[in-house]
Amino acid sequence: MIHSISIENFFSIAEKQVINFRVPRNAPHVENFIASRGDNTIRLPLVAGFYGANASGKSTVLRAMDSLVKLNLLSSQPTLPNLTNLFQAYRHKEWLGKPTKIIIELDASYERDQKSEEILDTVFRYELHIGHDANRFDNKSIVFEELSYAPNSGFKKLFSRLGQQFTFSSDFSISNKDQRLETILKETSTIGRLSIFGHKYSISLMDQIRSIFSNIFGTSKFVVERETNLRTYIENPLLLTQLNKELQRFDLGLENFFVANNENGHLVAFSKHIGLDYNILLHEESLGTQRFIDLFPMILSTLGNGGILLLDELDTDLHPLLIPELLYWFYDPVRNPHKAQLLFSAHNASLLDELEKEQVFFTEKPMGKATQIYGAKDIGGLRREPSLTKKYLSGELGAIPQIG
């Protein structure tokens, strides 16, 4: 679970913006909050949402988290990451030559002692700076990188990187003169690259990074490749069974969803509906049904692995009655036994009534200025209301479109 993230000079964000997900001690003890795996004195929201007008920076917050994930994943592949797709400076001459800075604190597991193989759940802090060339838009590099963890009290540094100079602590079990360091390029992350070459702790951390899913990539929403997604259902019949169980619960009139190979070897997806004599092809289904089928493997993997799910525009296409159900899946300890977390952006204000104020964050971008981010819990005088929706739509909480 993510504890906090700070973002500076990233797309629509200029000055450092800090998003703190930690729940204050005086907040009620409700199912929406749960103790951190890494520090049981801290409570975190199982679900948190970002609201704001169009082009205010909602997606930018999720994109910053996703870009950290993608950088590490792509660094563990033969093909080098394209930093221009993942990190861009705020488009103002004052900021073009300054680095992008992102710091994230989150729960993760770590094997502290190789002899005893003791597994710790603790809090990690990862800091990344991306350098930009003001004269060449596509010339970017990692200028600073640091990983720390908090096995006891306070953070302890595991490694630090300044350009191509590396310093490792004994806890990270690699020498500062290890030949594998030569494989870490200016475009690649330390963890991602070392995981290719058998560094045990990097492999473990990368396995956990792979449990962070999103529907975002770079500057746009990621579109699920339909055939690849359908093949997932073919290869995992239990997943298809679980999907059908949920679709039937939603009372969409859909009796069963099928995926099969046709005579040409191509995958075809169709559904049988109650009261109809002929099947309905997937592309003939409502957009809401299609999107749920596309997202379901990602949702189930997140819940099963205790991962993190980043969903941009959660309310796009999905039926309004299905979205609260999805939120409840993350609150349900049976469905979510490993403390998976959902972070989303949305426009649908009615969803605010499903959230406590500690779960809500707003983004504003005044004309000609950069994105500003604040939490509902930080608004002075905001009581614990039964309906945040009314206050938001009335303009009391800010972050709404200005018309006229």
pLDDT of residue 221: 52
Backbone angles phi, psi at 31, to 5 degrees: -65, -20
Among 342, 345, 339, 398, residue whose Cα is nearest residue 372: 398
Q: Which one-letter amino acid corresponds to residue 150? A: A
pLDDT of residue 113: 62
Sequential pLDDT tens for the chain (404 residues): 999 999 999 999 999 999 999 999 999 999 999 999 999 999 999 999 999 999 999 999 999 999 999 999 999 998 889 999 999 999 999 999 999 999 999 999 987 666 667 788 999 999 999 999 988 989 999 999 999 999 888 999 999 999 999 999 999 989 998 999 999 999 999 999 999 999 999 999 999 999 999 988 555 554 556 778 899 999 999 999 999 999 988 867 888 999 998 888 788 999 999 999 999 999 999 888 888 898 999 999 999 999 999 999 998 867 777 889 999 999 999 999 999 999 999 998 889 999 999 999 999 999 999 999 999 999 988 888 777 888 888 888 887 776 55
Q: Strand 341-345 relative to strand 47-52: parallel, antiparallel, unpaired?
A: parallel
pLDDT of residue 321: 77
pLDDT of residue 236: 94
pLDDT of residue 114: 60
Which pairs from 36-43 meet CB under 8 Å and 24+ separation? Answer: 36/1, 36/3, 36/107, 36/123, 37/1, 37/107, 37/121, 37/306, 37/339, 38/3, 38/106, 38/107, 38/108, 38/121, 38/122, 38/123, 38/124, 38/150, 39/122, 39/123, 39/150, 42/3
Among 227, 241, 308, residue whose Cα is nearest residue 269: 227
Q: What angle do CA 264, 267, 270 make, to 5 degrees?
A: 120
Among 208, 75, 226, 69, residue whose Cα is nearest residue 141: 75
Element housing 247 (H / E):
helix 237-249
pLDDT of residue 60: 97
pLDDT of residue 226: 78
Euclidean distance between CA atoms 342 and 6, whole angstroms:
18
What the chain holds in terms of domains, given with CATH numbers, is: 1-211+306-404 (3.40.50), 221-293 (no CATH)
Euclidean distance between CA atoms 59 and 50, whole angstroms:
8
pLDDT of residue 224: 56
Residue for token pair 């990621």: 222
Q: Strand 165-168 relative to strand 156-162: parallel, antiparallel, unpaired?
A: antiparallel
pLDDT of residue 251: 66
Euclidean distance between CA atoms 202 and 185, whole angstroms:
16
Residue count of the chain, please give it. Answer: 404
The tokens for 11 are: 């797309």
pLDDT of residue 50: 98
